[in-house]
Amino acid sequence: MKGVHFLMSLVLLALATSFASASDPDPVQDFCVAVDDPKSALFVNGKFCKDPKHANADDFFFSGLNKPGDTSSQLGSNVTTVNVNQIPGLNTLGISIVRIDYAPYGLNPPHTHPRATEILVVAEGTLEVGFVSSNQDNNRLFTKILNEGDVFVFPVGLIHFQINRGHKNTVAFAALSSQNPGVITIAKAVFGSDPRINPDVLTKAFQVDKNVIDYLQKQFWVDNNN
Ligand SMILES: *[C@@H]1O[C@H](CO)[C@@H](O)[C@H](O)[C@H]1NC(C)=O
């Protein structure tokens, strides 16, 4: 019995230590500038909370992921997002879902989710997917061809992409480990920022002629979701 008590207190001690060393909760929006006057505050951890007594099933419901997104843009892909902005009940729960449609040769261009790991399943068609590890890991490319029912994981923050190399449409669904994962589309963020980044920065960074950077900065950059 004494031994059990000793074990219990060890477990409690371990728990207490882990609580004491817990870090801040991860942000669920890009930034949250502190204000002194609560009247001018807009968001607390992304959203305000509803009185739980007034919550109902519709707060946890979304209908429409059976509908394909329009893939007629130059990228040939479309991401339909279902996050805390579509399902308010997702607030603070750390999860969301998307449907991604790809026309033949459609591309979901290299992008990252600053706040989420993504797990993707192919529902229809085929998909070439990949992510690149960080500098510390020598920027290794991890790539696969996925068929129906295949699942692939894109770890949080890493640059990743998907392309449909098949002759018919591809449909995938992906769950993300944030109520608001965020998206940074690399080419658009680097060459299509508002205002544009000084070309000297990009000329040196990409080791190309200034005309190349001028050309890229003049393009009209699109993304397929936000
Ligand atoms: C994605 O598809 C939806 C539904 O068809 C459409 O309203 C939206 O404009 C499309 N987005 C892009 C970026 O093509």
Ligand 1 centroid – CA 77 distance (Å) = 9
Position 50 in a domain: no
- Count the domains in the chain: 1
Question: Six-digit token pair at 94?
Answer: 């750390």
Position 23 in a domain: no
CATH code: domain of residue 93: 2.60.120.10
Q: Is a pLDDT exceeding 90 seen at residue 127?
A: yes
Question: Which of 70, 79, 225 for a ligand 1 pocket mutation test, highest count of atoms within 8 Å of Cβ?
Answer: 70
Ligand 1 centroid – CA 170 distance (Å) = 16
pLDDT at residue number 159: 98
Position 131 in a domain: yes
Position 5 in a domain: no
**Sheet strands side by side (includes 107-112):** 141-146, 127-132, 159-163, 107-112, 184-185
pLDDT at residue number 224: 79
Position 226 in a domain: no
Question: Which of 66, 71, 72, 78 for a ligand 1 pocket mutation test, highest count of atoms within 8 Å of Cβ?
Answer: 78
Domain containing residue 122? 57-217
The answer to whether 223 and 185 are in contact (CB under 8 A) is yes
Question: Six-digit token pair at 50?
Answer: 């509803």
Q: Is a pLDDT exceeding 50 seen at residue 1?
A: no
What are the distances in angstroms from CA 158 to CA 72, 116, 117, 146? Answer: 27, 10, 9, 19
What is the band of 217 on the pLDDT scale with cuts at 50, 70, 90? very high
Q: Is the CB of 70 under 6 A from ligand 1?
A: yes
Position 124 in a domain: yes
Position 104 in a domain: yes
119: helix, strand or coil: strand
* Tens-place pLDDT, residues 35-58: 677 666 666 666 777 787 888 999
Question: Six-digit token pair at 190?
Answer: 């680097």
Tokens 């699109």 found at: 222
d(CA 188, CA 6): 59
* Tens-place pLDDT, residues 181-209: 999 999 999 999 999 999 999 999 999 99
pLDDT at residue number 18: 46
What is the band of 157 on the pLDDT scale with cuts at 50, 70, 90? very high
Tokens 């992304």 found at: 46
Q: Name the residue with the closest Cα to ligand 1, atom 8.
A: 70
Q: pLDDT averaged over the chain? A: 88
Position 128 in a domain: yes
